[in-house]
């Protein structure tokens, strides 16, 4: 009987160590493509009725993480698309209007 008590205590101590160890691990923030933002030149883009955005003039977006994205006339982005991990159509919808 004494041996099984030691086994139970050992198992409980191990479980306690595992649980406290899990709380010590570093926490990393998850950044999605929709979390980025910029202040676009809305006159440089046109939105189609289907939700795609097309550049109509040369322009640059300076993303809040420091990345710069350049666009030339004719560059197009469909809804749900990403450029370099940034959901540019969502940024344009947010600042330039979502029809």
pLDDT tens digits for range 70-81: 999 999 999 999
pLDDT digits (tens, 9 = 90+) for 22-31: 555 555 555 5
How many Cβ atoms are within 10 Å of 88's Cβ, its own excluded? 23
Do 24 and 63 form a contact (C-beta atoms < 8 A)? no
pTM over 0.75, yes/no: no
pLDDT at 18: 56
Which residues have a Cβ under 8 Å from the Cβ of 92 and sit 6 or more positions away? 40, 42, 45, 47, 53, 77
Tokens at 60, concatenated: 């640059």
- Regions in the chain scoring below 70 on pLDDT: 1-7, 10-33, 99
* Per-residue pLDDT, 34: 73
Domain residue spans in the chain?
A: 42-96
Q: Which helix (H) or strand (E) holds 6?
A: helix 2-22
């Amino acid at each position: 009987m004494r041996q099984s008590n030691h086994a139970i205590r050992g198992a409980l101590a191990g479980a306690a160590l595992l649980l406290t160890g899990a709380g010590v691990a570093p926490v990393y923030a998850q950044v999605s493509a929709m979390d980025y933002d910029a202040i676009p030149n809305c006159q440089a883009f046109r939105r189609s009725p289907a939700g795609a955005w097309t550049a109509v003039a040369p322009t640059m977006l300076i993303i809040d993480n420091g990345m710069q994205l350049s666009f030339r006339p004719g560059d197009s982005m469909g809804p749900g698309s990403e450029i370099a991990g940034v959901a540019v159509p969502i940024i344009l919808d947010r600042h330039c209007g979502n029809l």
